Structure 1
Amino acid sequence: MTSQRTRDRLVRRLREHGIRDERVLRVIGATPRHEFVDEALSSRAYEDTALPIGQSQTISQPYIVARMTEALLEGGKPKKVLEVGTGSGYQAAVLAQLVDQVFTVERIEELLRQARRRFHRLRLHNVYTRHADGHEGWPSQAPFDGIIVTAAASAVPEELLHQLKVGAVMIVPVERNGMQQLLSIRRTEDDFEEENLGGVIFVPMLGGLS
């Protein structure tokens, strides 16, 4: 269930569901998602569904990972990307094969420890990690060419907006009117432009360290 044939089947499903960026599809097909879940769940790793990873967190549905990554890449290839919410490390692993540097922040230390081991095992040496509250981002490394937030914020995180370069986008799920909406927010010279990419379901974005 972890064979290349199984991964290819997932890629075909993503293509059928509207993912068009061949770079993203290629990387999804090459990334061993079974390495990012417990062994007991490895047989389900290439289903297009979210799976539990402990600590009340999940590894995102492959379609959502692909959609967010595709949206981030729409304006060209960003060199330096911030991910908020490392989780299992899967989204960062996908990004690491498409951009020059990934800076990823996680508030739950045990999840970050596991993700670091996965990055090392997969030789993803362009991923840099930090144990921190995601609302803070990574100020010392800002500005970024793109930001991906992998948990649903109650409002657009202001601190993260100001860590974007002019022309860069942030892909972030935000709670609005009791529903989560995936937003693409681009920083312009004097403002921010917002595009709604549709409804999603993410775990909530929490503050503090654990």
Structure 2
Amino acid sequence: MPQRHLHQATRDAARLARPSGTGLDGGAVRQRMVARLRAEGKFDERVLAAMATVPRHEFVDSALAAQAYEDTALPIGHGQTISKPSVVAHMLGLLMGGEGARQRGSLGRVLEIGTGCGYQAAVIALLARQLTSIERLQGLHEKAQLNLQRVPLPRAPRLIWGDGRAGHSASGPFDSIIAAAGGEDIPRAWMDQLAPGGRLVAPTAATGRGQVLVVLDHVVDKGVSHWVRSEHEAVLFVPLKSGVV
């Protein structure tokens, strides 16, 4: 019977639909998260406005949706985590503080190393003119693709399954580069793909300090390029690895 087929299709759609999380779709919980961050008085208001728009619960497993707006890292599978909201806000604030971003009022063309579940990419997409995001783990790359399809964005990020250490020269040069994995050094490929006036933010090993957030600015003085490095607080990110899996 056609009517029976229609009922069956409705039940199948309900079974396959991703749970939205109790009380999370209205945005009030998300706004409270942003209000807590704003009360700390140290985060860029443009970043907070973007975070107030992106539904973080859409990027975590349904079983963890109730924790999506707490200031905590959560597992996203494949041995990886989604960063704490305060860490996302801080790193993007550092990126927005670059000379070029201040002049443009946006992050311009961005390279993100480590797409993960896609949450930070969604926030960046609201602050950038163009975003290329690379993930070395195919399972996470595919998860991010699905997650980002559920979130309306003004410009869809370009998602790449590839080796983040190599950057993505075909999409560069970049005004901003941000990494969600930490290595012993800043890969030369990232520096080469950072446009003059651009800024890079990445967790990196520092002598005697363990892993810290490093800011690298590409400065051009009288036609000569040089990079100005500053070190910030200690952090703990997953290791930066080469290759794809």
TM superposition score normalised by structure 2: 0.82
Tell me how far 1:209 sits from its aligned partner: 0.7
Q: 5 Å matches for 1:14-33?
A: 14-33=37-56
Counterpart in the other structure of 1:149? 179
Counterpart in the other structure of 1:123? 152
Q: Which moved more, 1:37-46 or 1:18-27?
A: 18-27
Q: 5 Å matches for 1:187-206?
A: 187-189=218-220, 190-206=225-241
Counterpart in the other structure of 1:57? 80
Tell me how far 1:65 sits from its aligned partner: 0.5
Structure 2 residue 136 is matched with structure 1 residue 136: no
Looking at structure 2, the residues matched to 123 and 33 of structure 1 have their Cα atoms a distance apart, in angstroms, of 13
Provide the aligned length of Structure 1 versus Structure 2: 210
Structure 2 residue 137 is matched with structure 1 residue 111: no
Which of the two has higher C-alpha Rg? 2
Tell me how far 1:73 sits from its aligned partner: 1.1
Looking at structure 2, the residues matched to 38 and 154 of structure 1 have their Cα atoms a distance apart, in angstroms, of 31
CA contact (8 A) 1:19 1:66 kept: no
Q: Which runs of 5+ in 2 are unaligned?
A: 1-22
Counterpart in the other structure of 1:163? 193
Note closer, same or farther for the CA distance 1:18–1:157 as it changes in structure 2 (3 Å cut): farther
Q: Which runs of 5+ in 1 are unaligned?
A: none
Counterpart in the other structure of 1:209? 244
Looking at structure 2, the residues matched to 18 and 71 of structure 1 have their Cα atoms a distance apart, in angstroms, of 14
Counterpart in the other structure of 2:210? 179
Q: Residues 18-58 of structure 1, C-alpha deviation per residue, up to 9 Å, x if partnerless?
A: 43321111111111000000000000000011100000000
Looking at structure 2, the residues matched to 10 and 97 of structure 1 have their Cα atoms a distance apart, in angstroms, of 18
Looking at structure 2, the residues matched to 96 and 6 of structure 1 have their Cα atoms a distance apart, in angstroms, of 22
Q: Percent identity?
A: 39
Note closer, same or farther for the CA distance 1:200–1:17 as it changes in structure 2 (3 Å cut): farther
Structure 2 residue 91 is matched with structure 1 residue 68: yes
Counterpart in the other structure of 1:34? 57
Q: Residues 127-180 of structure 1, C-alpha deviation per residue, up to 9 Å, x if partnerless?
A: 001111110010111100100001111211111011000110000000223611
Picking from 84, 94, 103, the partner of 2:113 is: 84
Looking at structure 2, the residues matched to 178 and 22 of structure 1 have their Cα atoms a distance apart, in angstroms, of 30
Q: Residues 49-77 of structure 1, C-alpha deviation per residue, up to 9 Å, x if partnerless?
A: 11000000000010111111111111322
